Structure 1
């Protein structure tokens, strides 16, 4: 075993500095030989592999969700805080030397390119040494190995979702390694590598299907392997990476997601949490018989605070920032509960000011918030919504002009909504302002796998009974009617895409979904809001464009490879991502 190891592709500076290869671990005291001859230090090094999992959530900037640069939300810091990521993103300012999502302070692992390569490097170092490590129980060695393989697969998937195919590295580099020899594989080859790591983890009898001991909270399980594999194959089959629409890729994705559902739901091991709204207010209970059987992996805080009622309403005492505020496009995506049909079918104009109302749905434009999907009420505070426990009283949300929570158009500020709505999801209304919640960021949960399966099955075989059953399981949990039968494949595709939008809202899926579907030019040119005017006891509703954006061109489907690495690796320079 070699004592020396290198950071790979973390940055050009580290590559150039490879003559000073590290022969100590990050704590500055032990050599790798020392680490892997001590069981406690070996397990500690595995914790180092875990440490590259980003915080996600609102850590991209100061209480900023990624949703603020999608058509789900507008960030209220736009127009107020120049360094806010959304303020920079919407101008189309991304370049190979500048990523707006990495701007500003805070956020563990916010620089994803470096973070994910660091995680891959640490996983490779661990895997290169675990076979000869001094481990007393062979079952522990095998479990550690499975976790490291799965972490490597996770980091690779997160990396290639953002930057496209990356060199496949499965062992630590020697100090004399020639980085100019690295080449880019195909996206398929990267997916094959990820799937192989997942399959080996799934086949490992020492990796549990779920975590049941509190001291092991935050460790990966077989369920995570199924989730990573399901998502990887779905992305591989999607239009961005499957332009020829190879049905075999969709079938592979459908098969993997079906196998995941069968393995996870067998014996009730995993199941959808009964209450959609409540699910996001607490962290999973880690024990052999948990109440929460939906969560597959939730992000621990890594020293950061948990969710707090920070991005709430300006009427709350001391409130200074409302964060991301839901768009009218998001509100329009919620079906009617009585009929199960879409309220809005699209728009007659490019500015989304003339909605196409589904007259068969039961939607009333004069009472736009009545009778909607229960997930709407769990996600959005709107004019007339009830917000609990403010100074010991129930607060009626007033976004109408002159109301306590009114929309502020001129000039905008960070204390009031820019769209006419406030974000409710993740923020328990029964908690006082700034009171800490117990909730954690749910990176993977069972609902996603149902949705993955429904989408892939429809693309591979049409809207089969199995595809219907998967999407209807999600709708039934939410209190929504089953989808109307007899839909065509195209119609079912639109319904499943919308179902993903409302079920996984603000969970960072929308940002990547519109890219893998190649519909960025349809979703990200602008967002709208709703201005409400009170006339006696009635309200008038007027749509308006609240933000126009310039990050919707095809080049924004995949991020540019950072310029530091294109200057070091010739193949990166020759094969930079399209448009950059």
Structure 2
């Protein structure tokens, strides 16, 4: 997807602005209103909102997810070169409300939400002769999709959060000091936005310049995941089945194709964070963060590592085709041509062979949701409704057959099939920002048991959510800390 860089308003973040004149109208907001004058500007504004998913630095889908969320699981840990004390605290489950990664999760998410709110509000006001009505509605629904995605992350990370649905138009107390909505209220808004976004075009109708935009299939797939998270099994099954039957997706023949740069935004990629190195874009920093440091010419950071005691690597069977794409056990130096065995397997999904010495410019996309996950959503929801039926088995086995591992048999019962699906998700979606969400939606006992079994002995029920950042509490008197984090 082509992204045009624009200078839009400095967005107003919840609790992040202090000013002596709280009723004044900021110049940045006047700029925003003056920007939305025609279709080209509207398209540029929405393109800028996509950019907030993965823009340069440690942005939400460009490593912040990994260092602020996934480190708090049984599969990941801060690597040898992870120097930030806040990241290491999350890895050790000793983080608290002062953690700067929590601040960034909150701040960047609300920055992106405000951008979507601006798009929804101001694109609707563009004169009819200045914008095609189909494009207007498509752009508004894309903005609603992005807003829903950010709120879906926020409510799972923090629980109750402020629900802001209009762009900031002043620095008034009422607009700045927003109290938290309930989780139910947030989920109702997520579902409403995604239902509107279901009216987006199918992904195959987009031309080359628009590949990677939100589509009807992306909205339905995220909606299926929302229902799954809420344990609304019937709607999760219904929506996943609709994606499978009507949206035209399929698995790539080979797992490695999912991460083949030449096949980006292909038949399995429902919605991805778009990366393109060496062309003004920030590359996928996960490639550099996980690459080795001690092989001449590789120049990796090794700041992200798999947590050995969690057993992830050994959970793959030797014939599993996903193993060699997900991990590497050694590499050949581009400098001296020698093969170097690693002391420990390292993540390899986003390693870009075209930029061997500069993995910060990796062009491999990061899947936010792909067809394999929709199949696993269907398998899980169907099992919860009807046990391991032939439909549930067919869905999970399509993923397993592609990986060249044995299909699950008909001898499983509901409980063992549930665990089979979770293990399949773990291996299929490794290093794709899914593990923490999967652990916590099973509840405190499941999460704590898994982490303590993996040697992360500080795991506690409060870790089902992250604390509301202390900085936001200090700035906004109407915010309250999550109950699980009071006096902790």
Give TM class, smaller chain.
Answer: 0.7 to 0.9
- Alpha-carbon separation, structure 2, partners of 1:133 and 1:85: 44
SS state of the match for residue 555, structure 1?
helix
Query: Could you say which residue in structure 2 is the equivalent of 1:76?
Result: 79
Preserved contact between residue 283 and residue 439 of structure 1 (Cα < 8 Å): no
* Mapping 1:315-394, distance limit 5 Å: 316-318=295-297, 319=299, 321-328=301-308, 329-334=311-316, 336=317, 371-382=318-329, 387=331, 390-391=334-335, 393=337
State yes or no: 1:228 paired with 2:207.
no
Query: Could you say which residue in structure 2 is the equivalent of 1:344?
Result: none
Query: Could you say which residue in structure 2 is the equivalent of 1:566?
Result: 473
Query: Could you say which residue in structure 2 is the equivalent of 1:261?
Result: 244
- Alpha-carbon separation, structure 2, partners of 1:202 and 1:325: 37
* Mapping 1:432-443, distance limit 5 Å: 432-434=356-358, 437-443=362-368
Return the offset for 1:216. Answer: 1.9
Preserved contact between residue 49 and residue 115 of structure 2 (Cα < 8 Å): yes
Return the offset for 1:85. Answer: 4.6
* CA offset digits 1:68-89 (Å, max 9, x no partner): 4432233332xx6542554222
- Over 3 Å counting, the alpha-carbon distance change for 1:177 and 1:57 in structure 2 is closer
- Over 3 Å counting, the alpha-carbon distance change for 1:389 and 1:272 in structure 2 is farther
* CA offset digits 1:118-143 (Å, max 9, x no partner): 22222222222222303331111111
SS state of the match for residue 46, structure 2?
helix
- Alpha-carbon separation, structure 2, partners of 1:16 and 1:502: 53
* Mapping 1:18-167, distance limit 5 Å: 18-25=22-29, 31-54=31-54, 55-56=59-60, 59-60=63-64, 67-77=70-80, 81-83=82-84, 85-100=86-101, 111-134=104-127, 135-167=130-162
State yes or no: 1:523 paired with 2:470.
no
Return the offset for 1:91. Answer: 4.0
- Alpha-carbon separation, structure 2, partners of 1:439 and 1:141: 30
- Alpha-carbon separation, structure 1, partners of 2:115 and 2:163: 14
Preserved contact between residue 256 and residue 325 of structure 2 (Cα < 8 Å): yes
- Alpha-carbon separation, structure 2, partners of 1:16 and 1:279: 52
Preserved contact between residue 309 and residue 433 of structure 1 (Cα < 8 Å): no
* CA offset digits 1:193-249 (Å, max 9, x no partner): 111111112135xx3434632322442221221122122111122xxxxxxxxxxx2
Query: Could you say which residue in structure 2 is the equivalent of 1:464?
Result: 389
| TM-score, normalised by the number of residues in structure 1 | 0.71
* Bigger fraction of residues in helix: 2
Unaligned runs of 5+ in 1: 103-110, 238-248, 287-291, 337-370, 398-404, 407-419, 528-547
Q: 1:304 aligns with which of 259, 279, 282?
A: 282
- Alpha-carbon separation, structure 2, partners of 1:181 and 1:96: 19
State yes or no: 1:426 paired with 2:350.
yes
Query: Could you say which residue in structure 1 is the equivalent of 2:4?
Result: none
Preserved contact between residue 401 and residue 407 of structure 2 (Cα < 8 Å): yes
Preserved contact between residue 326 and residue 422 of structure 1 (Cα < 8 Å): yes
- Alpha-carbon separation, structure 1, partners of 2:147 and 2:99: 26
- Alpha-carbon separation, structure 2, partners of 1:119 and 1:430: 31
- Over 3 Å counting, the alpha-carbon distance change for 1:81 and 1:24 in structure 2 is closer
Unaligned runs of 5+ in 2: 1-8
Q: How many residues align?
A: 460
SS state of the match for residue 97, structure 2?
coil
Larger mean Cα displacement after TM superposition, 422-431 or 145-154 = 422-431
Preserved contact between residue 319 and residue 404 of structure 2 (Cα < 8 Å): no
Return the offset for 1:188. Answer: 2.8
Return the offset for 1:320. Answer: 6.0
